[in-house]
Chains A and B, each alone.
Chain A
Amino acid sequence: QKEVEQNSGPLSVPEGAIASLNCTYSDRVSQSFFWYRQYSGKSPELIMSIYSNGDKEDGRFTAQLNKASQYVSLLIRDSQPSDSATYLCAVDATTDSWGKFQFGAGTQVVVTP
Chain B
Amino acid sequence: EPEVTQTPSHQVTQMGQEVILRCVPISNHLYFYWYRQILGQKVEFLVSFYNNEISEKSEIFDDQFSVERPDGSNFTLKIRSTKLEDSAMYFCASSDEETGSGANVLTFGAGSRLTVL
Contact = CB atoms under 8 A, between A and B. Distances in A.
B95 interface: yes
Nearest to A49: B105
Contacts, number: 61
Interface residues of A, number: 24
A16 B106 CA distance: 30
A92 B108 contact: no
A44 B95 contact: no
B102 A46 contact: no
Given A32-B99, A98-B50, A99-B99, A45 B93 contact: no
Interface in A75-113: 88, 90, 92, 95, 97-106
A103 B55 contact: no
Contacts of A49: 105
B52 to A, nearest CB: 14
Contact of A92 (B43, B99, B109): B99
